[in-house]
Each structure stands twice: as structure tokens, then as C-alpha cells.
Chain A
Amino acid sequence: MARIAAGVASSHVPLLGVAVDQDKTGDEYFAPIFSGYEWTRQWEKEQQPDVVVLVYNDHASAFDASIIPTFAIGCGENFKPADEGWGPRPVPDVEGHADLAWHIAQCLILDDFDMTIINEMDVDHGLTVPLSMMFGTPQKWPVRVVPLAVNVVTYPVPSGNRCWALGEAIARAVESFPEDLKVQVWGTGGMSHQLQGPRAGLLNREWDNRFMDMLIGDSDDARWIEHIEYLRETGSEGIEMVMWLIMRGALGPATRCLHRHYHIPCSNTAIGHMVLEPAT
């Protein structure tokens, strides 16, 4: 049977993709960010997961304003890097796992999550930057990916509680897939950042670290944080952190932290990264 072996959380700032694509990861500005991912790159090589369920948000790339799915799952065979206005990133195409994706989609719908099913879409930096952070610059990504896109742009976005519950449902779905697969769930985006208005540039080191603390062990406090708290404390775009809760929910009642990294700033954003595994 398939099983969820671990969870990974990471910011997905587009500038990190630029740093990788232009070979600047060792620069003075970027080195302190990328050095916090070295542990994970080595760990991923040892882990060799088969599939990543990659929770991210689209930034007006695949979806325009005409359709706004709250939760969408990519069931296609493969996904191309999106042209976000300056040409697609020079990274490999993303290979899907259509059998697992369709299985998860069916299970989630039967479990009362009314998913939007996507057969064709391009994937933007929200999805490809975390792959670059964890795997570097291979000719071919070493995992297959089930993209799970969340609306965190147009309010109301899904609640933290709903995201956590979706993670729990994803875990049940994965565990009922007959093939023997090692699956990771990644929650991406965040941490504190505000990209708009006179308050732009807000960062909150203390709050971000408290949030990371809450994802370790058997606490479910993070599940109940309201949207207004993310907005006040972490900036208008900090709400992306609800996507980390899908990852956390998928890991079960308790977690162990294997690795943790935090750095301020990357462009407008606080970088956070964690590797968690289910604790039994």
C-alpha cells in the first residue's frame, strides 16, 4: 500500500527560482537561504520518494480571474513550467502520477471534499521553486508530482481547519492506494510577507517561528488560527501558510521535526522551511 513517509514545508519565492536558474545560489545574498536546504537535499537523496503531493498556489499563471477553484488537483500525465511573462523557467517538465491523482480525487470527493479536477495546466513558480530547492538542477525531476492548487488569493480562502482536514483526507486516500508507493506531502508558500499597499514589506519573525513550533508534536493549535490573525500578523500574503496545514494534517496526530530553517529576507518575504515526519 502507499504511505505518507514525510512532510516538507517551504516558501516558494520566485526570486529563488531566478537564483537557481542564473546560478547565483552561492552569492552573498542567497547563500544563507540555500545553505538551509542542503540538509534536505541530502535527505531527499536518501529517502527517494516516489511521489510528492505538492500543495501550492497559482499566481495568475494557469488560472486567470475567470475561474477560481478553491481546491484543485492535477490529474494529468505531465505539466509544463508556466510562462509567467518572461518565458518559462528552464526546468524539466513535471511528471504527474495520474493513477494516484485520480484515486486521491475520487476518495476526496467521496470524503465530502468537492475537488476541481484539472487535466491540463502549466505550473508556475509556486510549484517549481520548491522542486528546485529540494532537488537542485537535475535533467529530470527525481519524483512524480500530484499538484494540488489552493486559492489563497481571493477571499474567503479556505479556513485553516478545512485545510488541515483536507490533509487528513489526503492521508486516508493515499493509504488506500493499492500500489506500494512512498509519498511525501509538501506544503508551500509563506512565510510572512505583504506585497501590496502602504504596509508592504511587513515581516514577523516571532510569529512565523511560533507557527513552525505549532506544527511539531501533537498540538493542533495552528488549525484554529483565523484569517484575520494571518492578515494582521503576517501581511496580506502570509495567508499562504494555510497550505502548510494541509501538509501537517496529512502527517497524522503527531509529528517529529527532522530539520528547520528560517531566514529574513528574500526580496519581500520571510523564508521558512521544515521537514517533518509522522510520530507514532
Chain B
Amino acid sequence: MTDVHSYLAEFDDIPGTRVFTAARARKGYHLNQFAMSLMKAKNRERWKADETAYLDQWPLTDEQREAVLTRDYNRMLDLGGNIYFLSKIFSTDGISFAEAVSTMTDMSFPEYREMMNKGGRSPEGNRSIKGGY
């Protein structure tokens, strides 16, 4: 049987990646459920009218609220957000998946798009922090 501790420990060795573990799912539960609520047109209207008031209905931490209001997606990931749930936020903002994804990298959207059209980010040097390969 796979040992859960060593299974999870390996995930921290991947550069620039937050694997959506049970711990993150637990931490981000309300953040993700808030994002999910934007699937309904009525909720999107209320959210757009007053984001802060809309967030007051959800038991989020102050850090989570701030990350949402500033659209800091890396921070939302750190605070337990999952990209498929968070996609409801940027879809409501009218931003494409690729553009939203680019905000988490050190590139502008045109730079990111160009990288993708040229074959994407190479796995070389991006597989392991400790191993450096």
C-alpha cells in the first residue's frame, strides 16, 4: 500500500505547482463553493453589483477575501482554491482561460500565448526542485 505521507511529500518538490490535495480542498472549501455559486446568472448579477457584499455571505478568511477581490490567482491557489472552481470567477470577468492562467506566470498574456504557440513551456528543469531536472 502507498504510504500517504511520502505520497504527499513528493508533491512539494514540483516547481511552481500547487497540487490540489485533501488539505487544500479542506482549506479552500468555502472559497471554492463561493466561486461555484457564480454558475448561476442571478448570483453573477449580485456579485457584479457589489463584490464585497456578495463575499460577506461566505465564511472566507480575510486573506481569501483579499485574494479574490484583487484577482490574485496564485494566492487563491495557496489558500485552497482549485482552478476549475476559480474559473467561474474569471469567466464572470469575461477573461479567457488562457489569459487567466497567464496571470499566474511571470509573463504577459501575449508572451504566454506566444510561448504556447511555440510548443509550450518545456519540462526541462521544471520537473523537480531538489533534483533540478
Contact = CB atoms under 8 A, between A and B. Distances in A.
Interface in A184-204: 192, 194-204
Contacts of B4: 156
Interface string A28-72: 000000000000000000000000000000011100111010000
B70 interface: no
A264 interface: yes
Contacts of A15: 97
Interface residues of A, number: 43
Interface string B92-114: 10001110011011100000100
A268 B33 contact: no
A84 to B, nearest CB: 7
A151 B29 CA distance: 16
A61 B85 CA distance: 9
Contact of A268 (B18, B29, B101): B101
A181 interface: no
Given A14-B97, A196-B17, A205 B36 contact: no
B116 A201 contact: yes
Given A85-B38, A153-B20, A267-B116, A198 B106 contact: yes
A196 B123 contact: no
Interface stretch (B49-57, B58-66, B76-84): B76-84
Contact of A198 (B84, B96, B104, B122): B104
Interface size class of B (residues with CB under 8 A): 35 or more
Main DSSP-derived SS at the A contact region: loop
Contacts of B104: 196-198, 200
Given A60-B85, A196-B104, A268-B101, A236 B120 contact: no
Contacts of A131: none
Contacts of B83: 195-196
Contacts of B10: 228
Given A85-B39, A232-B128, A202 B14 contact: no
B5 interface: no
Contacts of B18: 196-197, 236
Contacts of A228: 7, 10-11
Interface string A83-121: 111100000000000000000000000000000000000
A84 B38 CA distance: 10
A68 B36 CA distance: 14
A199 B74 CA distance: 11
Contacts of B122: 202
Contacts of B92: 85
A195 B77 CA distance: 11
Contact of A236 (B19, B32, B44, B105): B19
B121 interface: yes
A231 interface: yes
A199 B17 contact: yes
A154 interface: yes
B112 A201 contact: yes
A232 B133 CA distance: 10
B33 A202 contact: no
Nearest to A237: B83
The 8 closest A-B pairs by CB, nearest first: A203-B120, A199-B16, A198-B16, A232-B127, A201-B121, A60-B84, A85-B91, A59-B84
29 contacts: A60-B84, A64-B85, A65-B25, A65-B33, A66-B33, A85-B87, A85-B88, A155-B19, A196-B18, A197-B17, A198-B16, A198-B74, A199-B14, A199-B15, A199-B17, A200-B102, A200-B104, A201-B105, A201-B112, A201-B115, A201-B116, A207-B123, A232-B14, A232-B127, A233-B123, A236-B14, A236-B17, A267-B116, A268-B101
